[in-house]
Structure 1
Amino acid sequence: MSTEGVFSNTQLLSEQLTPLQALQPEPLARRYRLLRQGVNAVFFSLLWLLVFGSWLQPWWALPADMAPLVFHALWFIPLLGLLRAAYRWQADKHKHFALREHDISYSSGIFFRKMITQPVVRVQHIELKQGPLERKTALARLQLFSAGGALHTFEIPGLDLTQAQQIRQFVLQHKDALQDEQQQ
């Protein structure tokens, strides 16, 4: 008796499964972490300069109750910027992706770890996005959309542009091949 085209639903034991932790995750581009640190430094520097400028400006006097607040903000803003930079540096170290034959995974999180896995065959479409700073640094983000959702399933930030283009092309070509294979 031929088993071709016959539905099968064999039970698998959990010991037989390959754990997702066995994946060889790839880190994001180092330029991504440096870019985010630069944006953080520019933002907090501009904020500090704005507060410092309001402290020194000669056109109007600061209200008496606001002067201590501005003085404390002058040391609090750099502290907050350094804390945010340290957190982002560590958070970006914990962002990884893995591409396998049938799925793509993305993991992130320092304290609360999250791993998202999308079967390639379920990808409706995939977008490669770049903002102005990403274009300048040859970085890109991949957004994967699954069927039935208006928003992207997940996004992989901080990829080298050529790597993002290769992954996008692989997913699009492989998705069609897998769908043709399933229909046969």
Structure 2
Amino acid sequence: MLFENQQIATAALPSVETVQFQTLPPQALKLRTIGWCITQGFIFLVLIGVMLFGEVFKQKWPWIIVFGIWGLQAIYFFWMARRRFYREGYAVREKDIIHTKGYWLRTQLTVPYNRVQHVEIEQGPLARAFGLGGISVYTAGDSGGDLSISGIEYAEAERIKQFIAQKVGNDE
């Protein structure tokens, strides 16, 4: 038997840009904003605690510096969270699932169904209030190929899980 390994012209490969990505529902942005506000509130309370018991904070200028930096990072992360949200999407295709995210650092992860070990749906209390959930697709090995999409409608996550389970079951 003769082994062949023909070279393929990269121009002939299918383009990923032609994929129509499904965007996340608007409730997901609200959920992420609430989570972000809870995190920022916790950071704010920790800063207040440190400053009330810290000797250096008996003067006025350290308060201004610390809360100025906190305010700037809060505004920046709020702005970035919105930008990242509008750049996030996913596509369920016949043989794989694709998730794209990120603003400065764009990440696109494709998981073929023949590599899937199992699929899980997550839903915390806040997500439940918005009717949202997340889906995690776990692959074989430890190569960082696991895919996780949070903020999709819970019913949609269930449909995707059933579809992937059917595809994985048919491939065996």
Once structures 1 and 2 are overlaid, which stretch shifts more, 74-83 or 165-174?
Answer: 74-83
Residue matched to 1:75? 68
Residue matched to 1:167? 160
Residue matched to 1:43? 39
SS in 2 for 1:71: helix
Residue correspondence of structure 1 range 1-184 to structure 2 within 5 A: 12-48=8-44, 51=47, 63=55, 65-66=56-57, 67=59, 68-149=61-142, 153-177=146-170, 179-180=171-172
User: What is the distance in 1 between the residues matched to 2:145 and 2:20?
Assistant: 24
The verdict on how the C-alpha distance between 1:34 and 1:173 changes in structure 2, with shifts beyond 3 A counting, is: same
Query: What 5-or-longer segments of structure 2 have no aligned partner?
Result: none
**Structure 1 length-normalised TM:** 0.77
Code of the residue aligned with 1:99 in structure 2: it is V
Identity in percent: 23
Measure how far apart 1:153 and its partner are.
1.1
User: What is the distance in 2 between the residues matched to 1:110 and 1:150?
Assistant: 23
User: What is the distance in 2 between the residues matched to 1:27 and 1:158?
Assistant: 10
User: What is the distance in 2 between the residues matched to 1:16 and 1:72?
Assistant: 56
Once structures 1 and 2 are overlaid, which stretch shifts more, 95-104 or 13-22?
Answer: 13-22
Measure how far apart 1:152 and its partner are.
6.5
The alignment yields a C-alpha RMSD, in angstroms, of 2.8
**Is the CA contact (8 Å cut-off) linking 1:140 and 1:164 kept in structure 2?**
yes
Once structures 1 and 2 are overlaid, which stretch shifts more, 147-156 or 12-21?
Answer: 147-156
Code of the residue aligned with 1:69 in structure 2: it is P
The verdict on how the C-alpha distance between 1:153 and 1:54 changes in structure 2, with shifts beyond 3 A counting, is: closer
User: What is the distance in 2 between the residues matched to 1:171 and 1:101?
Assistant: 10
Query: What 5-or-longer segments of structure 1 have no aligned partner?
Result: 1-7
**Count of aligned residue pairs for this structure pair:** 168
**Structure 2 length-normalised TM:** 0.82
The verdict on how the C-alpha distance between 1:120 and 1:54 changes in structure 2, with shifts beyond 3 A counting, is: closer
User: What is the distance in 1 between the residues matched to 2:13 and 2:100?
Assistant: 19
Measure how far apart 1:78 and its partner are.
2.4
User: What is the distance in 2 between the residues matched to 1:9 and 1:105?
Assistant: 27
Code of the residue aligned with 1:165 in structure 2: it is E
